Every structure is written in structure tokens, then in C-alpha cells.
Structure 1
Amino acid sequence: MKIQDWEMLATLYATENITQAAHRLFLSQPTLTSRLKKLENYYGVQLIIRKQRGITFTPEGEQLAQHAKKMLYEQRKIEERLHNMKEQVAGTIRVGVSNFFALNKMPKLLRLFKQSYPNVEFQVVTGWSSEMHRLILNNDVHIGFIKGDYVWNENKDLLYEEEICIASPWDFTWKDLPDLPRIDYYTDEKMRSIVDQWWYSNYKQTPNINIQVSQVETCKEMIINGLGYAILANLVVRPYPELIIKPLQHPSGKAITRKTWMYYHEDTLQLNIVHAFVRFIQTLDVKAL
């Protein structure tokens, strides 16, 4: 197989959809289908089964897809080693970034880093912190910027800690909170657990959620426009002094906080590009950006 075949199989395996895979690979569907058919003819086996929605791999296809993923990983490693032998900071660094960090911090960090290292390119994947944790565990990215504490036995640096708070367009008392209109948003399981645990430790009633949105940024705009309060991380609403912001607290009176970390593997520091980027982040006050 050629590297293009590895990429095709790995992408098909990840998406389980020919249309999505063709889009990711910048191919037409007929071209991808033709290449897949040639591969099946070469090995003399059927690799996929078409379903009403998407595809599934045959046992033979599953074996070949796993081989393709392994070969792509080995290809990336040898390319990185060759770049590293040049003793210069160049090449591509792969980064997994939680959604809020990607929107509010990452563009500035990349711009500042490229000012010092213009020959560096970035592959950035964004999503929930749980997804970024999985990527760094599987070595799919060099570095993960992740909110919350996940199981991790290698290197991680604390970038900042922020309070979880109530943000409201009007003043309120804690006892009235269950009756006030609340705006909710989709978030990762760890943040949801923090919020729910605090709520049901303080109130018997369920919250009066009358607006549900998909992104925390949309939620913020709803608050600013006077449609309700929300429970979110302080950094989201810190730039808006017109809002009433009160931190959540443990029974002890200590503020409830959430940490943002930089996760990375020790062995990736052998790569000049990763070593330079990690050291660059360690010198910054990321929270203040």
C-alpha cells in the first residue's frame, strides 16, 4: 500500500462514512470508491460493507485499517525524527485544544510563537476536553490543552485556575435562584458534574432552565441581553463589568474552581519543535492573554 491508501483507510475507519471521508481527503466520492475497489482487488477481499447510513468494516478491512493507522503513526515519527536531525525548530506540531481555550487563547499563542519560529506549522484539533484527553493518550497530538483533571501519568503544567460562578444580568439572592430563568449550554461531563453537584447540594428544586444552547459563547450573549443567568467559568464573563458575578463555593467557603492544563508526553520533548513550544508556553502568563 501507498501512504495515500493508509490515509484513505484510516479516514474511512474514523468517519465510517464515504462522503465525510472524501471531504476530509479532498477527493470526489467516485475517486475514493475507485481507489477502495482497487485495494479490494489487490488483496482479494471485501474491506467494507455499505449500510443505509455509512459503512462498516469487514474483519479483513478492520485488520487492514489498523495496519494503516500504525503505518501512518510510524511515518509521522520518522518525519519528525528527520526534521529533528536538522537541529532547527521547524515542521508541524499537532495540538489538541478544548473549545474555550481554542477560541480565546490559542490564536494569540500561535501568533506569538510563529513570530519567533516562522518555519513551524500547526495542526489544531478542537473539541471537548474529554476528546482532547483521548487524543493525547493515543499520541494523536503532541500537546493537549485541557480543562479539568483527567487521568494522566506523564507531564502536565498548570496554566491557570478559574472560579466557577453565577453570571447574571441583574442582582439576585441565592435563595431566589431556583425561580429565576437559567440559560444552560452543552459542556463536557466534568463541568456538568461540578455544576450539578453544587446545585443539588444547595437546592431541592430542579433549576428553571428556559433556554438551552450549544455553545458557552452563545450562552454569554444571552446573559448580556438580559435573558437569564448561567453557571460558567469566570473567564468567559470577566470582560463584562455590567454583569453580576458571584463565585460558587464549597460548604467550607472555599471557591469552586476549574484548572486548565497543558498535557504532553516526556518523550516528545526530544523533538526540537515540541520542546520549543512547551518552553514558550511555560514562560507566559496564559490567563492574562
Structure 2
Amino acid sequence: MEDRDWQIIQKIYSEKNITKAAQALYMSQPALTARLQHIEREFNVRIVHRSTRGIQFTPEGEYLVEKAAQMIDQMRHIKNEVQELFSENAGTLEIGASNYLTMYVLPALLEQFKKRYPAVKYSVETNWSKNIFTLLYNQKIQIGFTSIDYGGCKNKHLMFEEPVCIAYREPFSISDLPELPRIEYDSDYLLKGQLDKWWRENFKKPPQVSMHVSNLENCKRMVVHGLGYAPLPAHIIKEHDNVLHKLPIVEKSGEPITRKTWMIYSELNNDLPIVKLFVDFVKKYTL
């Protein structure tokens, strides 16, 4: 088996179509078909069945698909570690970050790090904060950036903390909120739970949700266009200070509700030179 063969198995499985898989791999269809037949002969099994419904994988094929993901991941790690051995200022940083941090924090941070270490490459996966912890634990990434501390990671660094504000295009007071249209967005459940608790402590009826969007950026755009109010991190609405009115969300204890940004990293991967360089850089980095 060649490294390319594992990619072929994985791509045929994801596309469920020989022609599309060949195009994605920049191969001719006959070349891909020949390679698939070679793999089947090597393992002495049928990997796929072709029918009018398209490509269907056999149980043996399903097993090889699972192994393909593992082999590709393992080879990526090996190549990265070999690069690390060659030079402490090279290699690929495997990073996981929440959607919010990928959009608003990570680009500027990586830009500054790349100026110092131009030979470094990056693999960035965007996911929910709670899933970043899982990816780190399973060694799918070396470093994670999250908006919530879900615990269980002893190697972490608090980068910054920002207040969560109610933002609306028209002047308002907190007592007005039950009568105003609200825009909801998908967020990590810990922050959502904190905001829901604050609402119940301050109001006797539920908010008037007039719109639901999939992410924070879309929510901000809707608020800027006057379609409703939303609780948003202060950092992403700073550029709209001339358009939006905002009020901090304060709990009954007087403590503001805030959103923290954490860097988390595993002790094992911190032994790699490039990871150590990056972790030290982030600890000194000012947003």
C-alpha cells in the first residue's frame, strides 16, 4: 500500500463516485480505477460494489476507510515530527479554535508569529469550544483556542477577558428588552446557560426572539442592520461603536458576564520545539 492509496480509499468513500474522486485527486478515472483494483488484489477483498445507485462499500471496504483515516493522520504526525527534528523553527502547527476566535483573534496572532518564523505551516480546525478539548485530548491538534473553560486541561493560559454586552442600533435600557426583538445565535452551552440564568433573574417573561442565525458573525450583521438586539462580545462590535448602542450584562452580584479566551495545549506536544515556541509567543502576545 502506498500513502496515496489510503487517500484514494478515503476520497472514493466521501464522494461515492469514481469520476468525482478522480477529479478531486487530480487523477484520470482509468488510473484511479486501476489503483482501486490493485488495492483489492493486495487485500484479496472487494472494497466497493458498483450499481445503478452508485458506489457502495463492502464491510471490508468500510474497515479500510476507517484505517485510511488513521494512517493518513499518523503519516501527517510523522512528517511533522521529522520536520521538527530537522529544525526547531519549522514544521506544521496543528491548531483548533472556536469559530469566533478563528475569525477575530487567530488571523492577527498567526500573522505576527509567521513574521518571526516564516517556515512554519499551519493546520487549523474550526469547531465548538467543547470539541476543541476533545481534539486536544485525542491528539488531533497540538494547541487549542477556546472561549469557554470546560476543565480537564491543566496546561492553559488566559489570553484575555471581555464583557458580553447587549447591542442594539436604537437607544435602549435593560428594562426595555422584553418588548424588543431579539436575535439568537448558536453558542456554547455554558455561555448560553449563563445568559439564560441572567434573563430569568431579571425578567418574568421570555425574550421575543424574532430571528435565529447559525453563528456570531451573522448575528452581529443583523444587529448592525437594525433587525434586533443580541448579547455580543465587546470585541466584535467595537468597530461599530458609531452605529450601535450597548450596555454591559451585569449579574445581581454586580459581576459582569464576560467571555474569556483560553489557549490550551497538551504536555506531550509541548515537548516539540515549534509548539514550545508558539506557546511562549502566545503567552507574551497582546491582542
User: Do they fold alike, i.e. is TM over 0.5?
Assistant: yes
CA contact (8 A) 1:164 1:247 kept: yes
Q: Runs of 5+ in structure 2 lacking a partner?
A: none
The alpha-carbon deviation at position 151 of structure 1 amounts to: 3.7
Which residue of the partner structure matches residue 165 of structure 2?
A: 165
Query: Do the aligned partners of residues 23 and 126 (structure 1) sit closer, same or farther apart at CA in structure 2, a change above 3 Å counting?
Result: farther
- Give the structure 1 partner of residue 226 of structure 2: 226
1:53 CA drift (Å): 9.3
Sequence identity of aligned pairs in percent?
38
Partner of 1:258: 259
Point out the more displaced range, 224-233 or 39-48: 39-48
Instruction: Give the equivalent residue in structure 1 for 2:99.
Output: 99
Conserved? CA contact 1:162–1:258, under 8 Å: yes
Aligned to 1:148: 148
Q: CA deviation at 1:54?
A: 9.2
User: CA offset at residue 29 of structure 1?
Assistant: 9.2
Report the Cα offset of residue 284 of structure 1: 0.7
* One-letter amino acid of the structure 2 residue matched with residue 152 of structure 1: G
1:98 positional shift: 1.4
Change over 3 Å in CA distance of 1:81–1:176 after alignment to 2: closer
> What amino acid is aligned across from residue 143 of structure 1 in structure 2?
I
Quote the Cα distance in structure 1 between the aligned partners of 2:53 and 2:157: 42
Q: CA deviation at 1:279?
A: 1.0
Q: State whether residues 15 and 21 of structure 2, in contact with CA within 8 Å, keep that contact through their aligned partners in structure 1.
A: no
- 1:84 equivalent in alignment to 2:84: yes
Q: Which moved more, 1:64-73 or 1:86-95?
A: 64-73
CA distance 1:189–1:79, change in 2 (3 Å): same
Encode CA deviations 1:9-53: one digit per residue, 9 max, x unaligned.
45666x58558x949954469465664454234323243578999
In 2, Cα distance between equivalents of 1:225 and 1:69? 44
- Could you list the runs of 5+ residues in structure 1 that have no partner in the other structure? none
* Residue aligned with 1:239, SS: helix
Change (3 A) 1:112 1:53: farther
Q: Shift in Å at residue 75 of structure 1?
A: 2.3
- Which range moves more in the overlay, 32-41 or 178-187? 32-41
How far, CA to CA, are the matches of 2:272 and 2:85 in structure 1?
A: 9
CA change 1:137–1:189 in 2 (3 A) is: same
Aligned CA RMSD, in angstroms, stands at: 3.1
2: CA distance, partners of 1:164 / 1:195: 9
Aligned 1:32-181 pairs, distance under 5 A: 35-47=35-47, 58-181=58-181
- Please say which structure displays the higher CA radius of gyration: 2
1:180 deviation in Å? 0.4
Instruction: Provide closer, same or farther for how the CA distance between residues 139 and 230 of structure 1 changes in structure 2, counting only shifts above 3 A.
Output: same
Q: Distance in 2 between matches of 1:78 and 1:165?
A: 45
Q: Which shows bigger deviation, 108-117 or 42-51?
A: 42-51
Moved more, 262-271 or 29-38: 29-38
How many residues end up aligned between the 2 structures? 285
